[in-house]
């Protein structure tokens, strides 16, 4: 058990008090997450708060996974630690909102790329001039703006296009298609509704209103204004304990953090609000802290300034210098950058580092993908840390899920007889999305069909299966294509087969067969990166099948398998993803690849921080600060463009290998015994030299750019 410092104890020992706020502010590596964990332990063991009365929030799945994993070790003294931890509510804010909404409304669609592109198909051609919606991203922005501000929208396009946007929003509402912001607003609405009927049977929504006594928020600097309605509703009247560091705020593009913090600061009366600070830094070497402070513009040897809310003695804990400063290097291209990274990794693992000590952090996912393919070529084991598994981002899988939704929802529509029930239309959205992927079915046909359904007051599925085709306002060849679509899905929907299939593999097989017969337009999936090859699709399909198998095991008897999977696959995937990543960490070491955003709250002994191999885009200060402060001992920074940093081309050096002082320091820092350093220095150098010859690293890291003039002449 780590020995807490007096300032950490002060946070932990602050007594439980309903309707109060405790705000803990502290820099990176000061032990905020650790203090949060011990605070939970204290609440359960000393304050007699039951585990199921404690709710913990963070913004990213990774941060939530990290908290759950560490809670297990904090409670390990108890033989029921797993049970205790499983009772503590630990969620991302969107995960929690999703659960509330699904509990109250059944299956909902969170709109993603494929859905926005489907909606684009419904825009009248005149509105599809470049002036209006050049891309689905632009449409997404306008719809979000319209939902927030309606006719008051400051966006001219949203106001101009109002009637079109209005129709799209209506379709989204009818089909329960939501943006993440809608999800938050809907969840808040259900929390308020539940308040009014006190004796409704127990539910997740009610637990949130009545059961929880303490809400802990990790990384409060990541909150943004649209989360405010839900968070303030949940926290009001409870003890709110929040931890954060404004310098690490990297979600400002989603809105101003200060705005929501003001609301949270004023949630409870001033006399019930306390702010405490932690000043120590247990993570990074003074060399790293000094450079990071320069970036964020803090005096490096900042003495804590005490304010009237904090009498904590400034007993600073800092690591001793390690003797190696962060290295800043710049490159002409990806080849030179990756040679540098591979060479350094080789030196490090030929010394005392393990692959699992190393992380490569980048601003963008696309740069990570390029580096991943380089690591693969050199046979270096790596693992991508992602907030959600790759299969969920694969457009082909999203299409498959949409076909499942069409089948399930259209089949339900058969049983809905009320004229104004919302489930009468629910399949429309997924049906439009999937139909518009058929070769030769253009925007005009989709629009004409959708309009005709509106006039008949029928869902699209009912229209194309009940209305004779000579009434359809479509040309002959389009009619044939739509009939082909209908006949492929007909049996699955009309004979209720979709709700009878209980075997995940059989279900995938049947749906794949349908998709295979649909004559899809390959251009529809064009925006997928090259890396999403067919072998990747196969492995994504296998991963989805694994999640399906897990959901099959926990499916309640009262619901069909497909419905259960579609309602819960988001939650189930996250649980499965977390379990899988834990297993991978336990196996042979792998280098971690992550965006800076996904690495929030994590730490690694060695970090390569890269801004992209040829990027001229300066890294924003807070992201740079977050990236740098993930490192405990060694930090390499590639192509960093920032006013406070000076980079230079790398010169070839292997001095880190012979720095015995550093490697002693390193092993002590990670609590590794010297016997763990089984290789002698000479042996390490011999091994490295051999690998260097194999890999072809010589005196400098070669740049293809320099050879460009030669290529031009050829
Ligand atoms: N009192 C302590 N004694 C020893 N080590 C500690 C102590 N408190 C924290 N640590 C260690 O310091 C490191 C950083 O702690 P933690 O991750 O909780 O920091 P943080 O403030 O949440 O950082 P960030 O803001 O970057 O997410 C961890 O390795 C943790 O185990």
pLDDT per residue as tens digits for the range 466-488: 999 999 998 888 999 999 999 99
Q: What percent of the chain has pLDDT over 70?
A: 82
pLDDT mean over 487-514? 91
CB under 8 Å, gap of 24 or more: what pairs does 69-77 form? 69/582, 70/33, 70/34, 70/37, 71/37, 71/40, 74/37, 74/38, 74/40, 74/41, 75/41, 75/44
Q: What's the pLDDT score for residue 506?
A: 92
Q: Cβ(326) to ligand 1 under 6 A? A: no
Q: Cβ(28) to ligand 1 under 6 A? A: yes
* Residue 47 pLDDT > 90: yes
Output 638 or 647, whichever has higher pLDDT. 638
Identify the bridge partners of residue 362 per DSSP, sorted by sequence position: 595, 610
Identify the bridge partners of residue 177 per DSSP, sorted by sequence position: 109
Q: Cβ(226) to ligand 1 under 6 A? A: no
Q: In angstroms, rounded to a whole number, what is the distance separating the alpha carbons of residues 593 and 613?
A: 15
Q: Cβ(29) to ligand 1 under 6 A? A: yes
Q: Cβ(648) to ligand 1 under 6 A? A: no
pLDDT-wise least confident of 39-53, 160-174, 230-244, 296-310: 296-310
Nearest-atom index, ligand 1, CA of 281? 12
pLDDT-wise least confident of 95-99, 421-425, 601-605: 421-425
pLDDT mean over 128-156? 70
Q: Cβ(32) to ligand 1 under 6 A? A: yes
Output the residue whose Cα is nearest ligand 1's atom 9: 31
Map residue 464 onto helix, strand or coil.
helix
pLDDT mean over 605-630? 86
Nearest-atom index, ligand 1, CA of 5? 1
Q: What's the pLDDT score for residue 663?
A: 93
646 confidence band (pLDDT: 50, 70, 90)? confident
Q: Cβ(58) to ligand 1 under 6 A? A: no
Q: Cβ(2) to ligand 1 under 6 A? A: yes
| Å from CA of 635 to ligand 1 middle | 18
Q: Cβ(244) to ligand 1 under 6 A? A: no
| Å from CA of 92 to ligand 1 middle | 21
Are residues 435 and 446 in contact, defined by beta-carbon separation less than 8 angstroms?
Answer: yes
Nearest-atom index, ligand 1, CA of 248? 25
Q: In angstroms, rounded to a whole number, what is the distance separating the alpha carbons of residues 329 and 711?
A: 26
Backbone conformation region of residue 106, classed left if phi is above 0, alpha if psi is from -120 to 50, else beta = left
Whole-model pTM?
Answer: 0.78
**CA dist list (Å): 611 to 159, 208, 331, 361, 593:** 38, 41, 11, 9, 13
Q: Cβ(5) to ligand 1 under 6 A? A: yes
Q: In angstroms, rounded to a whole number, what is the distance separating the alpha carbons of residues 319 and 283?
A: 8
| Å from CA of 298 to ligand 1 middle | 20
Q: Cβ(33) to ligand 1 under 6 A? A: yes
Q: What's the pLDDT score for residue 177?
A: 87
Q: In angstroms, rounded to a whole number, what is the distance separating the alpha carbons of residues 527 and 182?
A: 26
Output the residue whose Cα is nearest ligand 1's atom 27: 601
| Å from CA of 34 to ligand 1 middle | 6
Q: In angstroms, rounded to a whole number, what is the distance separating the alpha carbons of residues 429 and 389?
A: 25
pLDDT mean over 416-445? 77
308 confidence band (pLDDT: 50, 70, 90)? very low
Q: What's the pLDDT score for residue 305?
A: 47
| Å from CA of 5 to ligand 1 middle | 11
Q: Cβ(118) to ligand 1 under 6 A? A: no
344 confidence band (pLDDT: 50, 70, 90)? very high
377 annotated to bind ligand: no
Map residue 21 onto helix, strand or coil.
strand
19 annotated to bind ligand: no
Q: What's the pLDDT score for residue 213?
A: 94
Q: What's the pLDDT score for residue 330?
A: 86
Output 592 or 204, whichever has higher pLDDT. 592
Report phi then psi at 42, rounded to 5.
-65, -45
pLDDT mean over 160-179? 79
* Residue 322 pLDDT > 60: yes
Q: Which helix (DSSP H) or strand (DSSP E) does residue 452 occupy?
A: helix 443-456
Q: What's the pLDDT score for residue 698?
A: 58
Query: Ligand 1, from 280, 282, 598, 625: best to mutate by most atoms within 8 Å of Cβ?
Result: 282
Residue-wise pLDDT for 219-271, tens only, equals 888 888 888 888 888 898 899 999 998 888 877 667 677 888 888 888 898 88
Residue-wise pLDDT for 56-68, tens only, equals 988 877 788 888 8
| Å from CA of 591 to ligand 1 middle | 22
161 confidence band (pLDDT: 50, 70, 90)? low
* Residue 419 pLDDT > 50: no
514 confidence band (pLDDT: 50, 70, 90)? very high
Residue at token pair 């009247």: 237
DSSP-based helix, strand, coil % in the chain, nearest 5? 55, 10, 35
Its sign, for the CA torsion 519, 525, 530, 532, is negative
Q: Cβ(319) to ligand 1 under 6 A? A: no
* Residue 384 pLDDT > 50: yes
Query: Ligand 1, from 283, 601, 602, 629: best to mutate by most atoms within 8 Å of Cβ?
Result: 283
701 confidence band (pLDDT: 50, 70, 90)? low
Q: What's the pLDDT score for residue 463?
A: 93
Report phi then psi at 404, rounded to 5.
-60, -40
| Å from CA of 87 to ligand 1 middle | 25
Q: Cβ(671) to ligand 1 under 6 A? A: no
* Residue 127 pLDDT > 70: no
- Average pLDDT over all residues of the chain: 82
Q: What's the pLDDT score for residue 312?
A: 46
33 annotated to bind ligand: yes
641 annotated to bind ligand: no
Output 10 or 531, whichever has higher pLDDT. 10
| Å from CA of 670 to ligand 1 middle | 13
Query: Ligand 1, from 6, 9, 24, 34: best to mutate by most atoms within 8 Å of Cβ?
Result: 34
121 annotated to bind ligand: no
Q: What's the pLDDT score for residue 10?
A: 93
| Å from CA of 164 to ligand 1 middle | 52
pLDDT-wise least confident of 410-419, 622-631, 657-666: 410-419
Output 522 or 315, whichever has higher pLDDT. 522
408 annotated to bind ligand: no
Q: What's the pLDDT score for residue 703?
A: 61
Nearest-atom index, ligand 1, CA of 282? 12
313 confidence band (pLDDT: 50, 70, 90)? very low
Q: In angstroms, rounded to a whole number, what is the distance separating the alpha carbons of residues 408 and 418?
A: 18
| Å from CA of 83 to ligand 1 middle | 25
Q: Cβ(627) to ligand 1 under 6 A? A: no
| Å from CA of 601 to ligand 1 middle | 10
* CA end-to-end distance (rounded Å), the chain: 65
Q: What percent of the chain has pLDDT over 90?
A: 29
Q: What's the pLDDT score for residue 706?
A: 58
* Residue 83 pLDDT > 80: yes
| Å from CA of 30 to ligand 1 middle | 5
| Å from CA of 17 to ligand 1 middle | 26
Nearest-atom index, ligand 1, CA of 602? 27
């Amino acid at each position: 058990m780590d020995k807490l410092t007096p300032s950490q104890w002060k946070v932990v020992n602050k007594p439980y008090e309903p309707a109060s706020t405790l705000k803990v502010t502290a820099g990176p590596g000061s032990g905020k997450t650790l203090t949060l964990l011990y605070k939970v332990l204290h609440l359960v063991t000393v304050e007699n708060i039951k585990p199921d009365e404690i709710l913990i929030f963070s913004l990213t799945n990774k941060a939530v996974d990290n908290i759950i994993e560490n809670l297990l070790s904090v409670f390990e003294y108890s033989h029921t630690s797993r049970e205790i931890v499983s009772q503590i509510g630990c969620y991302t804010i969107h995960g929690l909102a999703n659960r509330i909404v699904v509990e109250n409304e059944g299956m909902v669609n969170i709109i993603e790329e494929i859905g926005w592109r489907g909606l684009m198909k419904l825009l009248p051609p005149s509105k599809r001039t470049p002036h209006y919606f050049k891309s689905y991203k632009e449409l997404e922005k306008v719809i979000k703006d319209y939902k927030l501000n309606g006719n008051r929208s400051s966006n001219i396009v949203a106001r101009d296009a109002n009637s079109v946007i209005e129709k799209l929003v209506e379709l989204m509402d009818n089909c329960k298609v939501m943006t993440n912001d809608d999800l938050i607003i809907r969840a808040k609405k259900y929390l308020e509704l539940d308040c009014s009927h006190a004796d409704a049977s127990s539910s997740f929504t009610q637990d949130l209103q009545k059961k929880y006594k303490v809400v802990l928020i990790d990384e409060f600097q990541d909150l943004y204004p649209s989360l405010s309605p839900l968070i303030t509703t949940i926290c009001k009247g409870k003890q709110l304990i929040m931890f954060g560091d404004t310098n690490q705020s990297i979600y400002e593009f989603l809105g101003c953090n200060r705005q929501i913090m003001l609301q949270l600061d004023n949630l409870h009366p001033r006399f019930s609000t306390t702010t405490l600070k932690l000043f120590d830094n247990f993570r990074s070497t003074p060399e790293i802290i000094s450079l990071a402070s320069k970036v964020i513009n803090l005096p490096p040897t900042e003495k804590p300034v005490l304010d009237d809310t904090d009498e904590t003695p400034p007993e600073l804990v800092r690591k001793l210098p390690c003797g190696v400063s962060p290295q800043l290097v710049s490159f002409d291209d990806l080849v030179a950058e990756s040679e540098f990274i591979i060479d350094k990794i080789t030196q490090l693992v030929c010394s005392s580092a393990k692959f699992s000590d190393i992380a490569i952090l980048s601003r963008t996912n696309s740069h990570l993908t390029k580096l991943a393919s380089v690591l693969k070529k050199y046979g270096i084991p790596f693992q991508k840390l992602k907030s959600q598994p790759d299969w969920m981002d694969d457009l082909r899988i999203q299409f498959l899920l949409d076909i499942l939704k069409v089948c399930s929802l259209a089949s339900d529509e058969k049983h809905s007889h009320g004229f104004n029930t919302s489930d009468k239309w629910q399949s429309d959205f997924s049906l439009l999305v999937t139909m518009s992927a058929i070769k030769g079915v253009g925007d005009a046909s989709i629009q004409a069909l959708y309009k005709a359904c509106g006039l008949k007051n029928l869902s699209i599925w009912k229209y194309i299966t009940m209305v004779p085709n000579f009434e359809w306002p479509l040309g002959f060849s389009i009619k044939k294509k739509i009939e082909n679509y209908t006949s492929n899905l007909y049996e699955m929907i009309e004979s209720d087969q979709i709700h009878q299939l209980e075997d995940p593999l059989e279900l995938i097989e049947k749906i794949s067969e349908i998709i295979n017969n649909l004559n899809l337009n390959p251009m529809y999936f064009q925006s997928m990166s090259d890396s999403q090859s067919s072998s990747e699709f196969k492995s994504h399909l296998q991963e989805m099948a694994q999640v399906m198998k897990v959901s099959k095991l926990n499916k309640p008897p009262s619901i069909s398998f497909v419905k259960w999977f579609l309602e819960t696959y988001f939650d189930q995937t996250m649980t499965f993803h977390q379990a899988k990543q834990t297993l991978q960490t336990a196996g042979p070491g792998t280098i971690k690849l992550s965006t800076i955003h996904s690495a929030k709250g994590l730490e690694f002994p060695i970090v390569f921080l890269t801004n992209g191999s040829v990027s001229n885009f300066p890294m924003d200060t807070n992201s740079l600060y977050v990236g740098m402060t993930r490192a405990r001992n060694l930090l390499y920074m590639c192509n960093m463009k920032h006013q406070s940093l000076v980079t230079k081309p790398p010169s070839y050096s292997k001095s880190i290998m012979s720095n015995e002082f550093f490697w002693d320091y390193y092993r002590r820092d990670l609590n590794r015994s010297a016997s763990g350093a089984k290789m002698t220095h000479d042996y390490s150098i011999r091994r490295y030299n051999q690998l260097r010859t194999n890999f072809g690293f010589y005196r400098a890291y070669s740049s293809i750019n320099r050879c460009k003039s030669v290529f031009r002449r050829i």
